[in-house]
Structure 1
Amino acid sequence: MPHVNKKVKTAAEKELDNFLFADVDANIWDKTGRELNPESKSEATDTDEEAEEEKTKDTFFLDSGPVSFTLDAPVYGSEDSDEEIDYEAEQETEQQQVESSDEESSSSEDESSDEYKDSYAAWEDEDDKNIKISLTSANITKKLRNTVDEDVVDGVEYTRRLRRQFNKIYPKPEWARLPSEIKAEKRKRTSSDSSDEDEEDGVTMDQDQLDEETRLDLLKSTMGILDKRAHKKSIPPNKIDIMRVKNANRAVPKPKRVITSVAFHPNAQVMLTASLDKTLTLFQIDGKINPKIQSVRFNDLPIFHAEFHPSGDQIVVSGRRSYFYIYDIQSGVIDKCPGIWGKEEKSLENFSISPCGRYIAFLGTSGTIIIVSYVTKKWYCDLKMNGTVSSVSWSSDGTFVFGFGSTGEVYQFDVQNKECVKRWQDEGCIGASIISVSPNEKYYATGSSTGIVNLYDRSVLDPELNKPKPIKAIGNLTTRINNIKFNHDSQLMVITSQQKKDQLRIIHVPTGTAYANWPTDRTPLHNVVQVAFSPNSDYLAIANARGKVLLYALKHYALA
């Protein structure tokens, strides 16, 4: 092996080896940790320190210091950019951007300073003051300028203006605004040349007092929010504010058979779905995850209809069988009711539970409405109509049941007295399909096979009126109506037809007009099978023939 000349290490290199490879050297302990000893004195002179600093000056740099540099704002044109924001930036002129910034700059600065003056940041980056950002390098940042000629700002000011722009685009929702904030905003709008000092003193005192009271009220209960929502103003008839959220049944695989029932729990954000695959499923509805609570399979019953009892404790399930089931949600017990005593009905697939919870109305044969006591599960009475029964609907207190038959006549029965108290002919009815009574009992809607929905008011109950005129004949659909559902305050009504795709309309009930802004051509309704409103109308569930339950949030009623 040839001899290799190795370079002799200097003393400094040997010392470095000792530090790196931990050679046992007594001198190493004398050279470590000396910076922690207050009595130790540096052996290097000032000249040596300056020389060492000069050597390492170009090798390392600190992440802070007096150096200022300019950083161009990112150009949003890549894959991660928001096209909607870019479009907005391109459409707005520079002058409009400057004017809008000028109008809110003073108020936003005051609000931002007031909001964060009492809070202490956990950490602040000192370099933000040294970073310089150009506001004219991209369209998306031009709207942050206060003047047309403004260009470069530091990082702190850039952060503040981004926050201001965000609050402008996404303002605080109405339900989260305190009364003091609303009063202050109204006062700013209506004030002219009055005394600024007096006005500011009044606002500050009022705001401080109401802030504390309002926060305590919000922490104590939700009564204030719910009460406000219960007394909301009328919904506008020309545009409905609706937004799609995650599908209600996204947590389970697509059912093998068509969904036949969709219903919301009367007291909670829980929804059930039932299908011909003999499965009943419960979901917790939150609009984001919609997790499944549980599923129940009825091995001998393809489910045609399922409905919550008004108490919310039980679910009635039926199909094309002579028996039906009652499922207790709390205990998980399933009771089988072997038909109706004294009746030989082969199918109990269609029924409706009274809002009072005392009766179940089954649609029997030969124009018979079979009333069963919910408590005893025994036959209570028969209510007879001409022709066949197509649909039934209850009054809000369960006193009356309305039957709609094949002859186009509507019957009003007094259940307790077991008699018909009123009947009238539905105008222009061809092939009666469904009837629905609004929760406030001010409106009565009937649907037919021609797609016409007649909307009546309370005048139909006049004993002297046998052929009432509808206040509105809704002809937006052209095929057989299979669903008419009112929301909880009777301002909205949904009508659907299963025979054609995308046959759904939301009707503004007081005016009898259909909303034109929704659904659109891109709304994936498909063939609508069932629809349901949540108890407070904040959600609308739409089940289609594909096995999906589309979920939409109605912002007019939403809490958040």
Structure 2
Amino acid sequence: MSSNSLKKQKRKKPTITCLQKKSKSKKGDFFYQKKKRKIDAEEKRLEHVVLGDESSVIERLNQPDVHVWKKKKEFHDLSGESVEESDVEESDDDDNDDEVKRKPAWDDDDDDEKKNNATSTARQTSRFVSETPKWAQLNTTKKTQIKRKKRFSYSDDDDDDDDDNDQIGLAQSTGNYLASSSAVLPSSINIQVKRCSNLNKECSNYDLSALEFHSKSTVALTAGSDFRFHLFQIDGEQNRKIHSVLLERFAIQCGHFSADGNEIIFGSGHKYFCYFNLESAQLVRVPTIKNIEEHKMSQFVVSPDGRFIVFLGASGYMHLLSARSKEHLSSLKMNGSVSSVAFSPDGTSMYSFGSDGQVYVWDMDSRRCVHRFYDDGCVKGTCIAVSPNSKYLACGSDTGVVNVYNMDTCMADTTPQPRKALMKLTTACTSLKFNHTSELLATASNRCEKGVKLVHLPTFSTFRDFPDRMDKAIHFPIALDISPNSGYLTIGTNKGRALLYRLKHYSSY
């Protein structure tokens, strides 16, 4: 035989006969059966430990009122060791006689750690929810319930609608919920401000020119030269749009709510003006007034007592119109040109400021100038504002200097010295606004990027952190306003956006 044939025979695997395969399978079956019997025996032992014998099960069925664990004198744990009856704790209550607690077979450190964590979390939570917060407390006295039923009930027989009527009444007015903060605004370097969603995020104006909060409800107004004005419901998150109106061929340059909040008055570059009635949802055009020789009626101010609408004319004229009838009453004149007008909180006095650098004080009952004084260092006045407590008078000039006077000082002298000269603005001051507590003054210039400063009163210190940390949002501030209870600050920019900020120190609106 050749060497190649021998190599092939060596490579062949030995054949296994059927007898050998059969013996091998029998051997595997033997070990499998042995292992199965062992598993079955272990399962029976576990059933005996957990459930007991069949005889004990029959005895338990015959005696249903007796608990299973009371019949047994001895127990076996999973390890097979016996447990004495003393390890079983029965309940002492008569109602829970069938409930018996067993001690655990071992203690796990992880379980103890979870229990400790749960206990500490519950303690921390209880500190915040142990008492009902003030905003969630309802006045449910009998007197208030009777008043609500009398005020909002639509029929005496329908008792099921009382709750719905209460809800309707709450939604109609927010006057009871606009509670101011009792604490004094602290004077520090920083002020607690939170950036909210844009006030007009649902519908922005192409060229924003009017921005104002409603004095009696959580509503804000925006308007622009795109012939439209919008109303928004302010909540800080959604700020949903309520209404939009198109004023044909009327580019809005100024817009204000009336003193009672029922109308919105608009001015433009025409000889006439318009107002929108919120109750009837009608837009009314007031025709040209014969006694007023003006080419445009674009800038005006509404008196807080609801008596006058003052339009700023040319050559220092100020035209007084009745806020109710929209009729012309009289015209006042000052030297130079008038740039800004402000009223005292009660509406009895008016302060005008203009190009000659003098402040004119007008008595609105007699409609005469009763006093005037020079603003210290001012060449041309641009803006003026009076604090709600009638304590401060702020005058802004074209150089960016804002002089803050004590009202008593400036009314007693023709050249009074300001209480403080604020020089944080580098361009002409165009907006001044006090908050309702007269402890915060917002100043702005529309000629400077990020030209907004917040000043604390009476320390006259400027908050440094605003608006530095929001540089990307604020461009050129066109207008600004503070909500009735100083909860929100809004700033209108040249991009048509009305930025909204939450002043955390004050109440919600």
Q: Scaled by the length of structure 2, what TM-score is found? A: 0.69
Q: Deviations over 1:205-255 (max 9, x none)?
A: xxxxxx9998869x9799xx9799546132111142221111111122x43
Mapped pair 1:155 → 2:155: no
Post-superposition offset of 1:172: 6.7
Partner amino acid, structure 2, of 1:437? V
Distance verdict in 2 for CA 1:173–1:421, change over 3 Å: farther
Post-superposition offset of 1:430: 2.5
Mapped pair 1:356 → 2:302: no
Runs of 5+ in structure 2 lacking a partner?
1-39, 48-76, 79-105, 149-169
C-alpha distance in 1, partners of 2:446/2:130? 37
Distance verdict in 2 for CA 1:515–1:337, change over 3 Å: same
Over the aligned positions, Cα root-mean-square deviation in angstroms equals 3.5
- Equivalent pair of 2:223/2:255 in contact (CA under 8 Å): yes
Which of 458, 461, 476 is residue 407 of structure 2 equivalent to? 458
The match for 1:112 is none
Mapped pair 1:251 → 2:202: yes
C-alpha distance in 2, partners of 1:339/1:308? 21
**Aligned-partner SS, 1:268:** coil
- Equivalent pair of 1:367/1:384 in contact (CA under 8 Å): yes
The match for 1:261 is 210
Which of 212, 234, 241 is residue 184 of structure 2 equivalent to? 234
- Equivalent pair of 2:181/2:506 in contact (CA under 8 Å): no
C-alpha distance in 1, partners of 2:299/2:116? 66
Partner amino acid, structure 2, of 1:293? I
Q: Deviations over 1:86-110 (max 9, x none)?
A: xxxxxxxxxxxxxxxxxxxxxxxxx
- Equivalent pair of 1:133/1:158 in contact (CA under 8 Å): no
Mapped pair 1:471 → 2:471: no
Higher alpha-carbon Rg = 2
Instruction: Name the % identity.
Output: 33
Mapped pair 1:488 → 2:452: no
The match for 2:474 is 525
Q: Deviations over 1:393-443 (max 9, x none)?
A: 011111111100100000011122121000000011132111111111111
Post-superposition offset of 1:164: 4.4
Which of 133, 144, 150 is residue 176 of structure 1 equivalent to? 133
C-alpha distance in 1, partners of 2:108/2:254? 66
Partner amino acid, structure 2, of 1:378? E
Distance verdict in 2 for CA 1:375–1:158, change over 3 Å: same
Counterpart mapping for 1:321-332 below 5 A? 321-332=270-281
The match for 1:503 is 451
C-alpha distance in 2, partners of 1:433/1:375? 29
Counterpart mapping for 1:68-467 below 5 A? 153-164=112-123, 176=133, 229-230=179-180, 232-238=182-188, 239-252=190-203, 254-255=204-205, 257-463=206-412, 465-467=413-415
Distance verdict in 2 for CA 1:525–1:378, change over 3 Å: same
Distance verdict in 2 for CA 1:406–1:131, change over 3 Å: farther
C-alpha distance in 2, partners of 1:266/1:382? 28
- Equivalent pair of 2:211/2:223 in contact (CA under 8 Å): yes
The match for 2:3 is none
Partner amino acid, structure 1, of 2:200? N
**Aligned-partner SS, 1:303:** coil
Distance verdict in 2 for CA 1:261–1:213, change over 3 Å: closer
Post-superposition offset of 1:459: 2.4
Distance verdict in 2 for CA 1:174–1:415, change over 3 Å: farther
Distance verdict in 2 for CA 1:296–1:471, change over 3 Å: same
**Aligned-partner SS, 2:443:** strand
The match for 1:544 is 493
- Equivalent pair of 2:181/2:507 in contact (CA under 8 Å): no
C-alpha distance in 1, partners of 2:202/2:138? 41
Q: Deviations over 1:92-132 (max 9, x none)?
A: xxxxxxxxxxxxxxxxxxxxxxxxxxxxxxxxxxxxxx997
C-alpha distance in 2, partners of 1:549/1:131? 62
Aligned residues: 387
Q: Deviations over 1:16-45 (max 9, x none)?
A: xxxxxxxxxxxxxxxxxxxxxxxxxxxxxx
Q: Deviations over 1:158-177 (max 9, x none)?
A: 33334545678xx5799926
Post-superposition offset of 1:336: 0.4
- Equivalent pair of 1:304/1:320 in contact (CA under 8 Å): yes
Q: Scaled by the length of structure 1, what TM-score is found? A: 0.63
Partner amino acid, structure 1, of 2:202? A
C-alpha distance in 2, partners of 1:212/1:360? 41
- Equivalent pair of 2:181/2:505 in contact (CA under 8 Å): no
Partner amino acid, structure 2, of 1:155? K
- Equivalent pair of 1:539/1:553 in contact (CA under 8 Å): yes
Post-superposition offset of 1:553: 1.0
Distance verdict in 2 for CA 1:445–1:159, change over 3 Å: same
Runs of 5+ in structure 1 lacking a partner?
1-46, 55-65, 68-129, 135-151, 179-210
C-alpha distance in 2, partners of 1:364/1:212? 51
Partner amino acid, structure 2, of 1:157? N
Tell which deviates more after alignment, 315-324 or 154-163: 154-163
Distance verdict in 2 for CA 1:228–1:282, change over 3 Å: closer
The match for 1:76 is none
- Equivalent pair of 2:209/2:252 in contact (CA under 8 Å): yes
Partner amino acid, structure 2, of 1:424? F
Q: Deviations over 1:59-94 (max 9, x none)?
A: xxxxxxx99xxxxxxxxxxxxxxxxxxxxxxxxxxx
C-alpha distance in 2, partners of 1:392/1:131? 80
C-alpha distance in 2, partners of 1:229/1:245? 21
C-alpha distance in 2, partners of 1:492/1:245? 20
Distance verdict in 2 for CA 1:132–1:284, change over 3 Å: farther
| Larger RCO (alpha carbons 8 Å, 6+ apart) | 2
Post-superposition offset of 1:154: 4.1
Post-superposition offset of 1:284: 0.3
C-alpha distance in 1, partners of 2:430/2:226? 21
Post-superposition offset of 1:461: 4.5
- Equivalent pair of 2:301/2:310 in contact (CA under 8 Å): yes
Distance verdict in 2 for CA 1:502–1:212, change over 3 Å: closer
Q: Deviations over 1:505-527 (max 9, x none)?
A: 11112111211232224442111
C-alpha distance in 1, partners of 2:139/2:418? 47
